[in-house]
Structure 1
Amino acid sequence: MIVVHHLNNSRSQRVLWLLEELGLPYEVKRYERDAKTMLAPPALLAIHPLGKSPVITDGDKTLAETGAIIAYVIETYGQGRLIPPAGTPERLRWTYWLHYAEGSAMTPLLLKLVFTALPARAPGLLKGLVKAIAARAQSGFVDPQLKLHLDYWDAELAKSAWFAGPDFTAADIMMSFPLEAGAARAGAGSRPRVKAFLERIHARPAYKAALERGGPYDYA
């Protein structure tokens, strides 16, 4: 049976959702972030050398990285579900979004998080300087990059209801976290098609079931 090493408020929520969509049995082992640093606990280092989530174990296999986990589950247990047929334009888009979600999409979102939190973590005498530097970095680089990606998501969703085409696939599961994080941190919810996408996924029974298994998730 697949065991999901699940960290609260993390990308691993997508793995639970995928397993619910496929109707697969699985076990959840929960880990809690440090309340001050928001980092994963050291216990995850015993599962994977990087000590991050998501990680799954399936028999003697241990696999990290959301995209790799989703590809493994789809190939091993999917039976053709949640993936377009090979050789189709939709399959090419599916592969693109699977990699884009953790590649291009998450970089500006992570920078937004870092530069927003940085002033509060600076020593007292340096807070003003750090705040000014962080604000300049956000206005000069991070925010324009975020706008570029948010506009891109909305434009792509104008082409079809789902990222890979007319049908819901695992690519939409992968893209859920950037869009949810973008709505929370960067106003992505103001884009009408992004907002509609989030409403559609949040209404799915499997999404709701994954929340029940995974516990509190601030982005839902």
Structure 2
Amino acid sequence: MSAKDCGNHGWKRKRLLKRLLSAFLVLVILVLFVILLVWLILRPTKPQFTLQDVTVYQFNLSSPNFLTSNIQVTVQSRNPNDKIGIYYDKLDIFATYRDQQITLPTLLLQTYEGHKDINVWSPFISGDSVPIAPYLAASLNQDQSSGYILIHIKVNGKLRWKVGTWVSGHYSINVNCPAFIRFGNPASGITVNTGIKYQLSQPCSTDV
């Protein structure tokens, strides 16, 4: 085989590789365009969460800086989409005070939320002698003295979108529900067994 033939063969192979690469890039662009088009047509909206109520059974600060709490919360989620379903694969719920987590995370049941559907969870979240920073203990003492305490009920986890038979990959979801409670004032809530139930119907912020 002559050197000229070898040169032609190498040039043809390079041209074939360029064509294959171009075809692959066009295919990727088309797939991304279709996904974007479907996304724009369906206009997915993130789920809406509401903190319906909080029942406080225990919320005690002991010396030096330990907080023991036992709280039941009722959280509602609503899927506002009429063409998209939502799989909640893993959701943890817990409470925070001034950005410090004060209860252990509680795992919510996995569920599927269909078009315009609503789910309601009523888990217990608690913490036994959770150490908190000294400055937080001082703030908590002040809040308890005033009778008003702001805690946040948070839900973190993973969800997937479902359109027809297509199911997306996992997306992170972070929900933040402020709960402004009048501790120490039974008249502000409803006595339930050994706890006080506070009706809130508080909308939550949701990031997906």
TM-score, L = length of structure 1: 0.20
Q: Which has the higher helix share?
A: 1
Q: Which has the higher strand share?
A: 2
